[in-house]
Amino acid sequence: MVPLINSEKEVSLDILQKLDSVSGSTIVSGNQIPNIATRYIRTNVSAANGSTIVLGGLITDNKMKNNTGIPILDRIPYLGALFRSTTNNKQRTELIILMRPEVTLTKLDLYRLRQKSEDRMHFGPELDQDDCPECPKTGGEKQLTLPPPDLPAAKDLR
């Protein structure tokens, strides 16, 4: 992924997503080696700061047929159907990729974004715990310490 950001914080992305899956196997010198099937999504996307990008289209359809039965009896013409069963399974999988680019120009923006994402990712204490040390406390909260502001370097002030 290669991001380009313009002056209005719009993000242009060149995205290459790769999906590998096992597609059978080959026997080499008595060893079973899996065959790997590779598929790609390649696209260019432009999005506003904070908007969500959705990529889809990597769809896999699998069909499986399984025959079970009593040996020899399941092969008798006409009567064999009484001694066997056939199951058909279909499975459809679609990979959907969600991305949300956020542009930060200062350390303060980055700090706020990091705090917001940490708050979103934290789910609270485990079921067997009464209190979570990472959970924000209700009431009597202290002020969070902010990072130092972005200051221009001395050479830029001349």
Supply the DSSP string of 128-139, one letter for each residue.
T-S--TTSPPSS
In this predicted model, what pLDDT tens digit does every residue of 99-148 receive, in sequence order?
A: 899 888 888 888 888 888 877 776 666 656 666 666 666 555 455 566 66
Question: Quick one: which of 55, 87, 51, 92 has its CA closest to 69?
Answer: 87
In this predicted model, what pLDDT tens digit does every residue of 19-59 receive, in sequence order?
A: 888 888 999 999 999 999 888 888 899 999 989 999 888 88
pLDDT exceeds 80 at position 74: yes
- What is the pLDDT confidence band of residue 12, given thresholds at 50, 70 and 90? very high
What pLDDT shows up at residue 17? 83
Strands (E), 6-129: 11-28, 31-47, 53-69, 84-99
Which DSSP helix (H) or strand (E) runs through 112? Answer: helix 107-121
What pLDDT shows up at residue 52? 92
Question: Quick one: which of 125, 149, 120 has its CA closest to 137?
Answer: 125
Question: Quick one: which of 139, 96, 144 has its CA closest to 118?
Answer: 144
What pLDDT shows up at residue 152? 63
Cα-based torsion angle of the residue sequence 122, 128, 133, 137 in order, rounded to the nearest 10 degrees:
80
Query: For tokens 């969500």, what's the residue?
Result: 52
What pLDDT shows up at residue 11? 92
Question: Quick one: which of 9, 35, 36, 33 has its CA closest to 20?
Answer: 36
More confident residue, 51 or 3: 51
- What is the pLDDT confidence band of residue 66, given thresholds at 50, 70 and 90? very high
pLDDT exceeds 80 at position 8: yes
